[in-house]
Structure 1
Amino acid sequence: MLLAVDVGNTNTVIGAYEGRRLVEHFRLETHPHRTSDEWGLLCHQALRHHGVDPARIEAVAVSSVVPPMQHALERMSARYFGCKPLFIGPGVKTGMPILYDNPREVGADRIVNAVAAYERWPGALIVVDFGTATTFDVVTAKGEYLGGAITPGISISVEALSRNASKLPRVDLDRPDRAIGRNTVSSMQSGIVFGYGALVDGLCARLARELGGPRPTVVATGGLAPLLAGVSDAIDEVDEFLTLDGLRIIFDRN
Structure 2
Amino acid sequence: MIMAIDVSNTNITLGTFKGEKLLKIYRVTTKVPRTSDEYGVLLRDLVRLSNASHHEIEGVIIASVVPNVMYSLTNACIKYFHVHPVIVGPGVKTGVKVGAENPKEAGSDLIVNAAAVKELYGVPAIVIDYGTATSYQLVLEDGKLDSVVIAPGIQTSVQALTSDAARIPEVEIRKPKTILTKDTTECIQAGIVYGTIGETEYIVRKMKEESGLENIKVVATGGFGKVIADETDVIDIYDNILTLQGLRIIYYKNVAAGRKSRKIQN
Q: TM-score, normalised by structure 2?
A: 0.92
Paired residues of 1:32 and 1:69 also in contact (CA < 8 A): no
SS at match of 1:170: coil
Asked if 1:141 corresponds to 2:141, the answer is yes
Deviation at 1:32, TM superposition (A): 6.0
CA contact (8 A) 2:117 2:123 kept: no
Structure 1 residue ranges, 4+ long, deviating more than 4 angstroms after superposition: none
Q: Does 1:34 align with 2:34?
A: yes
Measured after TM superposition, the shift of residue 249 of structure 1 is: 0.6
- Output the amino acid matched with 2:205: A
Distance 1:213 1:49, change over 3 A: closer
Q: Could you list the per-position Cα deviations for residues 140-198 of structure 1 after superposition, in whole angstroms to 9, with x for gaps in the alignment?
A: 12321102110111111111111222222111101100111122111111111111011
Please give the alpha-carbon distance, in whole angstroms, between the structure 1 residues aligned to 2:4 and 2:235: 26
2:81 matches 1:75:
no
Which residue in 2 is equivalent to 1:113?
113
Structure 2 SS opposite 1:63: strand
Query: Which residues of structure 2 form unaligned runs of 5+?
Result: 255-266
Residue aligning to 2:264: none
1:122–1:143 contact (8 Å) kept in structure 2: no
1:198–1:232: 8 Å Cα contact kept in structure 2? Answer: no
CA contact (8 A) 2:127 2:137 kept: yes
- What's the counterpart of residue 25 of structure 2? 25
Q: How much identity, in percent, do the aligned residues show?
A: 39
Distance in 1 of aligned mates of 2:45 and 2:213: 49
Alignment pair present for 1:218 and 2:222: no
Tell me what 1:8 maps to.
Answer: 8
1:93 aligned residue: 93
Q: Distance in 1 between matches of 2:189 and 2:211?
A: 32
SS of aligned partner of 1:34: coil
Q: Distance in 2 between matches of 1:230 and 1:144?
A: 28
Separation of aligned partners in 1, 2:239 and 2:251: 19
1:74 deviates by 1.6
Gaps of 5+ in 1: none
CA distance in 2, matches of 1:213, 1:225: 23
1:140–1:211 contact (8 Å) kept in structure 2 = no
Look up the match of 1:191.
191
The whole-number CA distance in structure 2 between the counterparts of 1:184 and 1:101 is 44
Shift of 1:126: 0.7
Partner SS for 2:172: coil
Q: Which shows bigger deviation, 198-207 or 209-218?
A: 209-218
CA displacement 1:119-144 (0-9 Å, x = unmatched): 11112111111111111111012321
Corresponding residue pairs, total:
254
The aligned residue for residue 65 of structure 1 is 65
Partner-residue secondary structure (3-state), 2:27: strand
**Equivalent position of 2:263 in the other structure:** none
CA distance in 2, matches of 1:22, 1:50: 10
Which residue of structure 1 lines up, in the alignment, with residue 51 of structure 2?
51
Report the AA paired with residue 36 of structure 2: S
The one-letter code matched in structure 2 to 1:52 is: A
Question: In structure 1, the residue corresponding to 2:83 is in which secondary structure?
Answer: coil
Name the counterpart of 1:237. Answer: 237
Q: CA deviation digits over 1:37-57, x for unaligned, max 9?
A: 101100111121231221100
